[in-house]
């Protein structure tokens, strides 16, 4: 039976909201009422889950953030302590998310948890921050890092041109958007392959560092120059935690994970432990060879490290780093599009984002929306500024999500909890989040002000587009017409509704 053909939307004589119109296919099957249900399928195994998390975390952060962490700590030993603490902090958050993910088995992760706990208004603010700031900005950062490492061999003595870097980053995002629109299996296969490539690159760096330690190169491991200001330590965690960003991404696609109650906590535990060990050892390797001045003056720390040690084979590290960041862009795109999809299914995003491509069974409109927003952020090529911009909104939002654990214990004690964490873990995480988000306000008030402005911009959007129910007929008709047009171009239909 063919699924091809034009897609028609029937709107009842001016009485039906375009958002609620029924979607049909010209072969006579009503997708909402018939036997052929168009929906996302559970195709991902435990290994796929591990590679999604590891591949999403290990991207640009380990190659970009060493500079930011060292800049704010002032010494190598304290920088290593921040990297270790950031990993432990992320594991505690992931442990809390394991309880939430197994209790509320819905795509959207923290958005779904906040919706269940605090209601639609708080959930929309989280959705707005994540969709409009954190995810597209993070993807732009990783794509820019990809382009810088690809271009660096062609500009060994200077910074690659900003326009060239942005253009290559846009090409990377567009290529992976096509892959994610075409087939989920293709996207997970890309994730698997590039995750193995990035781990290989880091293991090569770690092995070189171990050889340097064997030769006695420990002169840089000191506390000399340590900055003791509380604000500096807090800002160092922005860069460190940015490198671990992605530990919660599997929760966003939990509906596509096989046996999530069993596989979600396993995937989280394996991934977070592996990444923490690899990150700390990679930083140790860097400092066996590079001085504080070398790291602070480098735009590509791994390339500088390779140039010092690998001689004629130094070109291999930029290649592996490019592969690493390419895979990370794919991981962010794969998981973030599901957040758009989850928000639209709750009526808090345009209805077109709920729709699935009829032959490929992928959320194509959500993928394309994520890609377009990411390319908007490519207008800036200042990676460090983007990291500071994202940090405040990210950790404030995740802290609110972790607050769902003790709140639901009190408000809904009878919810089934296959995994039940000790309340000390979410309490510790919330306190640490307050430290990481509130203290830097004194050190970087401008970035904080911009972050708060973007967060509070969700309020008028919510009032106009969601809370206001009786919108003018002309507005509803215009939205319906745009939705129909995009449906016809992308050949998508809505999921089955009850």
**Do the domain assignments include residue 87?**
yes
Domain span at 290: 42-466
Task: Give the pLDDT band (50/70/90) at residue 79.
Answer: very high
DSSP result, 382-422? -HHHHHHHHHHHHHHHHHHHHHHHHHHHHH-TTS--SS---
Task: Give the pLDDT band (50/70/90) at residue 262.
Answer: confident
Helix axes 76-103, 424-438, angle to 10 degrees: 130
* The dihedral sign for the CA sequence 75, 77, 80, 81: negative
**Do the domain assignments include residue 447?**
yes
465 or 45: whose pLDDT is higher?
A: 465
pLDDT in tens, 319-339: 888 887 888 888 788 777 777
Task: Give the pLDDT band (50/70/90) at residue 225.
Answer: confident
Q: Give the tokens for residue 199.
A: 């781990």
- C-alpha distances in Å from residue 490, one per residue of 5, 39, 320, 332, 361: 12, 16, 35, 22, 12
Residue 17: what pLDDT?
39
280 or 359: whose pLDDT is higher?
A: 280
Whether the per-residue pLDDT at 42 is higher than 70: the answer is no
Choice among 33-37, 106-110, 346-350, 470-474 with the minimum mean pLDDT? 33-37
Q: What is the mean pLDDT of residues 279-294?
A: 91
Q: Give the CATH number, domain containing residue 401.
A: 1.20.1740.10
Distance CA 51, CA 331 (A): 9
Residue 212: what pLDDT?
93
**Do the domain assignments include residue 230?**
yes
Task: Give the pLDDT band (50/70/90) at residue 455.
Answer: confident
**Do the domain assignments include residue 320?**
yes
Q: Give the tokens for residue 70.
A: 């060292």
| pTM score of the predicted model | 0.73
395 or 79: whose pLDDT is higher?
A: 79
Q: What total number of domains does the chain contain?
A: 1
Q: At CB < 8 A and 24+ separation, what contacts does 182-188 make?
A: 182/360, 182/362, 183/360, 183/362, 184/40, 184/41, 184/43, 184/256, 184/361, 184/362, 185/43, 187/330, 187/333, 187/334, 188/43, 188/44, 188/48, 188/51, 188/52, 188/334
* Arithmetic mean of pLDDT over the chain: 79
Residue 104: what pLDDT?
84
**Do the domain assignments include residue 400?**
yes
Inter-residue contact 80 to 284 (CB < 8 Å): yes
**Do the domain assignments include residue 120?**
yes
Residue 388: what pLDDT?
61
**Do the domain assignments include residue 353?**
yes
**Do the domain assignments include residue 31?**
no
């Amino acid at each position: 039976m063919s699924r091809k053909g034009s897609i028609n939307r029937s709107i009842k004589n001016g009485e039906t909201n375009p958002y609620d119109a029924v979607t049909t296919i010209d072969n006579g099957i009503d997708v909402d009422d018939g036997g052929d249900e168009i929906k996302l399928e559970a195709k991902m195994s435990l290994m796929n889950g591990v590679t999604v998390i590891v591949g999403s975390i290990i991207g640009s952060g380990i190659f970009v953030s060493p500079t930011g962490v060292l800049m704010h700590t002032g010494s190598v030993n304290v920088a290593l302590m921040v990297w270790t603490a950031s990993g432990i902090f992320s594991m505690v958050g992931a442990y809390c998310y394991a309880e939430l993910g197994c209790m509320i088995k819905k795509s959207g992760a923290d958005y779904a948890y906040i919706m269940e706990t605090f209601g639609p208004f708080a959930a929309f603010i989280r959705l707005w921050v994540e969709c409009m700031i954190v995810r597209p900005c993070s993807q732009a950062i990783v794509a820019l890092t990809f382009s810088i490492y690809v271009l660096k061999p062609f500009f060994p003595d200077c910074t690659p041109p900003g326009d060239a870097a942005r253009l290559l980053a846009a090409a990377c995002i567009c290529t992976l958007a096509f892959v994610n629109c075409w087939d989920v299996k293709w996207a997970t296969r890309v994730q698997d392959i590039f995750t193995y490539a990035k781990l290989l690159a880091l293991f090569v760096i770690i092995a070189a560092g171990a050889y340097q330690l064997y030769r006695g190169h420990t002169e840089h491991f000191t506390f000399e120059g340590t900055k003791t200001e509380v604000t500096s330590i807090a800002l160092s965690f922005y860069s460190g935690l940015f490198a671990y960003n992605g530990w919660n991404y599997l929760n966003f696609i939990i509906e596509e994970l096989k046996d999530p109650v069993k596989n979600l906590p396993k995937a989280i535990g394996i991934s977070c432990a592996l990444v923490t060990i690899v990150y700390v050892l990679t930083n140790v390797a860097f400092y066996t060879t590079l001085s504080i001045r070398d790291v602070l003056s480098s735009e590509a720390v791994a390339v500088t490290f390779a140039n010092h040690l690998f001689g004629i084979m130094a070109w291999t590290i930029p290649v592996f780093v490019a592969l690493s960041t390419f895979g990370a862009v794919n991981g962010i795109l794969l998981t973030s599009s599901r957040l758009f999809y989850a928000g639209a299914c709750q009526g808090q995003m345009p209805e077109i984002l709920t729709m699935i491509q009829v032959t490929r069974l992928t959320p194509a409109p959500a993928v394309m929306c994520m890609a377009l927003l990411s390319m908007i952020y490519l207008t800036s090529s200042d990676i460090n500024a983007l990291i500071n911009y994202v940090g405040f909104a990210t950790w404030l939002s995740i802290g609110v999500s972790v607050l769902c654990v003790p709140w639901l214990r009190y408000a809904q004690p009878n919810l089934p909890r296959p995994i039940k964490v000790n309340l000390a873990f979410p309490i510790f995480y919330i306190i640490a989040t307050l430290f990481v988000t509130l203290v830097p306000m004194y050190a970087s008030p401008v970035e904080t002000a911009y972050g708060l402005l973007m967060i509070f911009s969700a309020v008028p959007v919510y009032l106009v587009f969601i809370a206001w129910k009786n919108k003018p007929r002309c507005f509803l008709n215009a939205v319906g017409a745009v939705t129909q047009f995009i449906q016809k171009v992308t050949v998508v239909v809505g999921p089955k509704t009850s």
